[in-house]
């Protein structure tokens, strides 16, 4: 073999080694990220499991005063189930659970709509965040609609399994959502499921994320008709002014930039 050929082979070998080294570094980095992400997701879930265990406990530091004649607009007494949790974080407004699914979480609320995107119940930095209600919603006096946001995590945490409602068969197995506020328990029947974009502020369109209270029966019915038209299938559940609703919203990565939405009406 000539010196020229040996030089070419040596150069190719160097390139091969460099490429292999780069691939090993990338693979190690990817594995490390996966291990870190999985560990963080598992730790987050364990923390929420511990919070769930605190429901129905007798550990009471402070219990808000119940409604009195002197304070007609004051909220009623916090449910015993949530007193301990409420004393740990006053941003708690309720708890949401869908039977036989991973969704079993506290619901928070902050005037800073971005805070619980990357903070957990203990107010620590956490990419999983928390489920949280729109800042303009109210549990007392009760808004007609309470909008609850959460991440669509690849691990399935938070609202990572909410997109399963795209399947009508999944809906039929999970038609009910349990949502308690601090003051009352509730069961909600899934009514509409749809995908929608976040519109420009000046764009004239139905914006589900702005529907909290309707000013008239006509306005309410218009909202219901818009959502019924967008719904992937007919659940058989309808609503009229006076009903209490919840709207669950998460990212939908199918086309990019869309939101996946599940709307439910209180039936108990």
Structure token digits, residue 93:
């407004």
Torsions phi, psi of 100, nearest 5? 65, 25
124-169, pLDDT tens digit by residue? 999 999 999 999 999 999 999 999 999 999 999 999 999 999 999 9
Domain count, the chain: 3
Flag whether pLDDT at 33 surpasses 60: no
Confidence of residue 173 (pLDDT cuts 50, 70, 90): very high
- Same structural domain, 170 and 234: yes
- Same structural domain, 247 and 164: yes
Neighbours of 8 (CB within 10 A): 12
Contact 21, 14 (CB under 8 A): no
- Same structural domain, 105 and 230: yes
Between residues 11 and 201, the one the model is more confident about: 201
DSSP code, position 85 = H
Flag whether pLDDT at 50 surpasses 80: no
- Same structural domain, 114 and 240: yes
CA torsion sign for 138, 139, 142, 147 is positive
Percent of residues, the chain, with pLDDT higher than 70: 74
Domain boundary among 88, 111, 138: 88
Flag whether pLDDT at 69 surpasses 60: no
Please state, in angstroms and rounded to a whole number, the distance separating the CA atoms of residues 227 and 191: 9
Any long-range contacts for 124-127 (C-beta under 8 Å, 24+ apart)? Answer: 126/40, 126/44, 127/40
- Same structural domain, 138 and 209: yes
- Same structural domain, 10 and 138: no
Please state, in angstroms and rounded to a whole number, the distance separating the CA atoms of residues 227 and 221: 10
Domain ranges, residue 63: 55-88
- Same structural domain, 69 and 45: no
Flag whether pLDDT at 34 surpasses 50: no
Confidence of residue 172 (pLDDT cuts 50, 70, 90): very high
DSSP code, position 236 = S
93-126, pLDDT tens digit by residue? 999 999 999 999 999 999 999 999 999 999 999 9
- Same structural domain, 48 and 59: no
The single residue listed with the structure tokens 């909008």 is: 147
Flag whether pLDDT at 12 surpasses 70: no
- Where is average pLDDT lowest: 73-82, 207-216, 258-267? 73-82
- Same structural domain, 189 and 62: no
- Same structural domain, 146 and 208: yes
176-225, pLDDT tens digit by residue? 999 999 999 999 999 999 999 988 888 888 899 999 999 999 999 999 99
- Same structural domain, 214 and 105: yes
Quote the pTM value.
0.79
Please state, in angstroms and rounded to a whole number, the distance separating the CA atoms of residues 157 and 160: 5
Give the H or E element holding residue 90. Answer: none
pLDDT given for residue 52 in this prediction: 72
- What's 155's domain CATH number? 2.40.260.10
- Same structural domain, 61 and 127: no
């Amino acid at each position: 073999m000539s010196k020229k050929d040996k030089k070419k082979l040596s150069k190719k070998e160097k390139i091969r080694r460099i490429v292999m080294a780069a691939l090993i570094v990338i693979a190690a980095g990817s594995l490390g990220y996966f291990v870190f992400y999985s560990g963080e997701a598992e730790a987050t879930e364990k923390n929420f499991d511990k919070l769930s265990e605190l429901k129905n406990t007798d550990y009471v530091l402070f219990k808000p005063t119940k409604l009195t004649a002197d304070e007609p607009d004051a909220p009623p007494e916090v449910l015993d189930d949530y007193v301990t949790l409420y004393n740990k974080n006053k941003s708690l407004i309720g708890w949401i659970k869908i039977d036989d699914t991973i969704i079993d979480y506290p619901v928070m609320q902050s005037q800073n709509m971005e805070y619980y995107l990357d903070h957990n119940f203990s107010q620590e930095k956490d990419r999983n965040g928390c489920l949280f209600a729109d800042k303009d919603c109210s549990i007392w006096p009760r808004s007609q609609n309470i909008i609850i946001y959460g991440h669509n995590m690849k691990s399935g945490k938070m609202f990572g399994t909410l997109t399963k409602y795209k399947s009508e068969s999944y809906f039929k197995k999970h038609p009910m959502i349990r949502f308690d506020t601090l003051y009352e328990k509730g069961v909600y029947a899934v009514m509409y499921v749809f995908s929608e974009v976040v519109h420009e502020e000046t764009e004239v369109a139905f914006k589900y994320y702005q529907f909290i209270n309707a000013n008239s029966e006509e306005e309410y019915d218009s909202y219901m008709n818009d959502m019924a038209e967008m719904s992937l299938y007919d659940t058989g559940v309808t609503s009229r002014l006076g009903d209490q609703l919840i709207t669950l919203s998460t990212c939908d990565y199918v086309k990019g930039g869309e939101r996946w939405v599940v709307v439910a009406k209180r039936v108990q």
